[in-house]
């Protein structure tokens, strides 16, 4: 699935195996690979993690 945020395009493939967040950095492992993303502030990283969690819940 795709996520568009402030002009950037992010992709995640179900299932999401793990999510880790540290301030502005988000690392997640999906079906295809492990991805490390850096956002400009904590609010942006939290919004992205919220999207990932909702995406993972849709799978169930």
Predicted TM-score of the model (pTM): 0.85
2-22 pLDDT tens trace: 888 778 899 998 899 999 999
Provide the pLDDT confidence category of residue 60 given band limits of 50, 70 and 90: low
Contact 48, 37 (CB under 8 A): yes
Domain ranges across the chain: 2-59
Q: How far is residue 57's CA from residue 1's CA, in Å, rounded to a whole number? A: 13
């Amino acid at each position: 699935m795709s996520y568009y945020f402030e002009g950037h395009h992010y992709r995640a493939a179900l299932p999401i195996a793990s999510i880790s967040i540290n301030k502005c950095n988000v690392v997640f492992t999906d079906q295809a690979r492990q991805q490390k993303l850096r956002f400009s502030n904590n609010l942006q990283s939290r919004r992205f993690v919220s999207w990932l969690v909702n995406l993972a819940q849709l799978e169930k």
